[in-house]
């Protein structure tokens, strides 16, 4: 039976809007508070940042090599995986002009939605039911000057903050940034993740323990399940 033929969706604002898509795949969620859950990943092409340690360099430029899909086609493809948890990622998922409408369309269609975002573009029009995982850039990324504190006012206890840490200097910077912006009060989960292959998890764990702060260690578990450079997992 072709499941996609049976799928009836609520009307979508982005039904006929085209998006530049890097890949859509079904895998184990490797990050955040829902790590370990089956999830469909929608990777949008294009990002306004160039983090030193970016692990998706193939998704940074909008280009015609990647597929262009309408909102309806994306929804149909996602539905074929029979999984109601989706994550919008990239690249930067809010980089494309109509991404917010696409994300809201998925919320309206009953999906549990997470967004892995660098937080540069405003969260103002995002449906608050979508879980924002805001990746605040430490100096080691060389992108910290683009962090956008204006978006902190849109965070709720439903959302999560993430700091990818390269070294002790990044760790100390992140702790100070959290305190200066009162971020432990704004969200329930603050994640620190080591730059894969550059900082040993045991070292980050020791710094977290010494700090006595409610920081949660995050390892990208998909990089331990599969070979670290494997795409589509
Ligand atoms: S924001 Fe994310 S996708 Fe963009 S360069 Fe940085 S790590 Fe890569």
CATH architecture of 13-225: Alpha-Beta Barrel (3.20)
Residue nearest to atom 5 of ligand 1 (CA): 50
Question: What's the sign of the alpha-carbon dihedral 185, 137, 134, 124?
Answer: positive
User: Which residues are CB-neighbours of 206 under 8 A, at least 6 positions away?
Assistant: none
Give φ, ψ of 186 to 5 degrees: -85, -30
What CA–CA distance (Å, rounded) separates 70 from 100? 14
User: Model confidence at 3, in pLDDT bands (50, 70, 90)?
Assistant: very low
Supply the pLDDT for residue 4: 46
Supply the pLDDT for residue 2: 44
What CA–CA distance (Å, rounded) separates 192 from 203? 12
Supply the pLDDT for residue 150: 98
Neighbour-count burial of 60, counting CB atoms closer than 10 A to its CB (0-12 exposed, 13-18 middle, 19+ buried): buried
Contact 109, 81 (CB under 8 A): no
User: Which residues are CB-neighbours of 104 under 8 A, at least 6 positions away?
Assistant: 13, 125, 126, 127, 130
Does the pLDDT value for residue 215 go beyond 50?
yes
- CA 213 – ligand 1 centroid, Å: 26
pLDDT tens digits, 40-78? 999 999 999 999 999 999 999 988 878 999 999 999 999
Residue nearest to atom 2 of ligand 1 (CA): 91
Q: Taking residues 98-110, what's their average pLDDT?
A: 97
Best residue among 45, 61, 92, 94 to mutate for probing ligand 1's pocket (most ligand atoms within 8 Å of CB) is 92
Cα separations in angstroms, 24 against 6, 68, 69: 20, 12, 11
Does the pLDDT value for residue 1 go beyond 50?
no
Torsion angle defined by CA atoms of residues 65, 66, 69 and 75, in that order, rounded to the nearest 10 degrees: 160
What CA–CA distance (Å, rounded) separates 56 from 60? 7
Domain map (residue ranges) of the chain: 13-225
* Predicted model pTM: 0.93
What CA–CA distance (Å, rounded) separates 181 from 204? 22
User: Which residues are CB-neighbours of 221 under 8 A, at least 6 positions away?
Assistant: 28, 30, 31, 35, 36
What CA–CA distance (Å, rounded) separates 95 from 149? 17
Q: Calculate the average pLDDT of the chain.
A: 94
- Ligand 1 in reach of 49 Cβ (< 6 A): yes
Q: Locate the ligand 1 atom nearest the alpha carbon of residue 164 and give its number.
A: 7
pLDDT tens digits, 6-40? 456 788 999 999 999 999 999 999 998 999 999 99
Does the pLDDT value for residue 155 go beyond 90?
yes
What CA–CA distance (Å, rounded) separates 4 from 151? 37
Question: What's the sign of the alpha-carbon dihedral 24, 26, 27, 28?
Answer: positive
């Amino acid at each position: 039976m072709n499941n996609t033929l049976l799928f009836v969706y609520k009307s979508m604002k982005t039904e006929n809007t085209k998006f530049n898509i890097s890949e859509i795949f079904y895998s184990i969620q490797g990050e955040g508070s829902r790590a370990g859950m089956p999830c469909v990943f929608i990777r949008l092409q294009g990002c306004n940042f160039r983090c030193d340690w970016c692990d998706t360099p193939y998704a940074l430029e909008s280009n015609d090599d990647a597929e262009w899909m309408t909102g309806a086609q994306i929804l149909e493809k996602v539905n074929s995986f029979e999984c109601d948890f989706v994550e919008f990622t990239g690249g930067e998922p809010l980089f494309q002009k109509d991404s917010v409408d696409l994300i809201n369309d998925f919320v309206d269609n009953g999906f549990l939605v997470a967004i892995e975002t660098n937080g540069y573009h405003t969260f103002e029009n995002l449906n608050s039911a979508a879980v924002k995982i805001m990746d605040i850039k430490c100096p080691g990324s060389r992108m910290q000057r683009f962090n956008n504190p204006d978006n902190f006012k849109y965070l709720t206890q439903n959302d999560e903050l993430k700091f990818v840490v390269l070294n002790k200097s990044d760790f100390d910077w992140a702790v100070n940034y959290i305190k200066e912006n009162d971020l432990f009060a704004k969200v329930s989960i603050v994640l620190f993740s080591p730059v894969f292959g550059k900082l040993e998890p045991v070292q980050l764990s020791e710094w977290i323990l010494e700090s006595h702060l409610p920081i949660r260690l995050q390892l990208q578990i998909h990089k331990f399940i599969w070979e670290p450079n494997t795409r589509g997992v």
